[in-house]
Amino acid sequence: MRHMPTLKEVMTPFPQVASEDMKLTDAMQLMTDKGVHHIPVLEDHEVVGLLSGADVKLAQMPGHPSTEFTELTVGDICRRQVFMVDLYTRLDLVLEEMAKEGWDSAVVVKDTHLAGVFTAHDACRAFARWLQKEYLPDDDPGVA
């Protein structure tokens, strides 16, 4: 019987984090520098939100309640409703829940501590690896 992967095997471990009072422009720079699209927001070592590149783009659109974009903090625009899931949850269950509820990411925890993030990008990478392993010969030089 084949092994069903858990979230631990496909997540991004030890993600970059931000605090609620961090300037949004600083968080944007961190995301650019590190090449990430999601940053958990922590206060007192507890996850209180999640900032995504999509959230930042939305805040930059005309009509945002804040008149001065450079004055925004991460806490002003981060998502407060976050899909949190245990590190050892089966991957199929996480993917089903993400699809059902429209989540683009999950915050991964071990007990109550942040362990990683799992995003649609991580899911695509894992699926690509599985397809290559399942359908391409082992000696194919095109397999990464």
Q: Which domains does the chain have, with CATH numbers?
A: 7-135 (3.10.580.10)
| pLDDT (mean) for 84-113 | 96
Q: Chain centroid to CA 124: how far?
A: 13
* One-letter amino acid of 120: A
Q: Are 91 and 7 in contact (CB under 8 A)?
A: yes
pLDDT at 89 over 70: yes
Q: Encoding tokens for residue 26?
A: 């600083």
Predicted confidence band of residue 71 (pLDDT cuts 50, 70, 90): confident
Q: Encoding tokens for residue 43?
A: 């206060």
Nearest Cα neighbor of 117 from 26, 22, 66, 50 is 50
Q: Encoding tokens for residue 77?
A: 């625009």
Predicted confidence band of residue 59 (pLDDT cuts 50, 70, 90): confident
Alpha-carbon distance of 107 to 33, in angstroms, equals: 21
Please report the pLDDT score of residue 1 as a whole number.
67
Please report the pLDDT score of residue 67 as a whole number.
54
